[in-house]
Amino acid sequence: MSEPKPDSRTPSPPYGYSRECHYPLEQQIRIVAEFYAHNIRPSRIAYRMGIDIDLIEKLIAGEMHQAAFTELVTYYRKHRRNQRLKDAQQLKGSARVELQTRIEKEFSEADHLDPR
């Protein structure tokens, strides 16, 4: 009998990961803060960027690098709000006012709901 061919397929990545992460820790913290500010789930961040899910959850819970992470999340939330308000300028009349009101409401609620 002939010898079986070795399996050339790559193994399935662990749950939550699609690739290895090659970013330094500082860059990972920035990435997690930006995704978190855009309301992306931690498992999705891990899957897309390859960042360890444990690190993501610890950052969000405030167990690691709390001051830096909080500052970055605040920066990215403000940046996102400003970008959305700028995009709302393309609308006219009451649609613009309603969208701007909703954006401001979501921004203020996000600050109150922050677990840190």
pLDDT digits (tens, 9 = 90+) for 56-94: 999 999 888 889 999 999 899 888 888 887 878 787 888
Please check the confidence at residue 1 and state whether its pLDDT lies above 60.
no
19 Cβ neighbours under 8 A, 6+ residues apart: 13, 50
28-37, 67-76, 97-106: least confident range:
97-106
The structure tokens listed for 58 are 């610890």
CB 51 within 8 A of CB 38: no
> Does the pTM of the predicted model rise above 0.75?
no
Q: Rounded to an integer, what distance in angstroms lies between the CA atom of residue 92 and that of residue 88? A: 9
| % residues pLDDT > 90 (the chain) | 17
Position 11 pLDDT exceeds 80: no
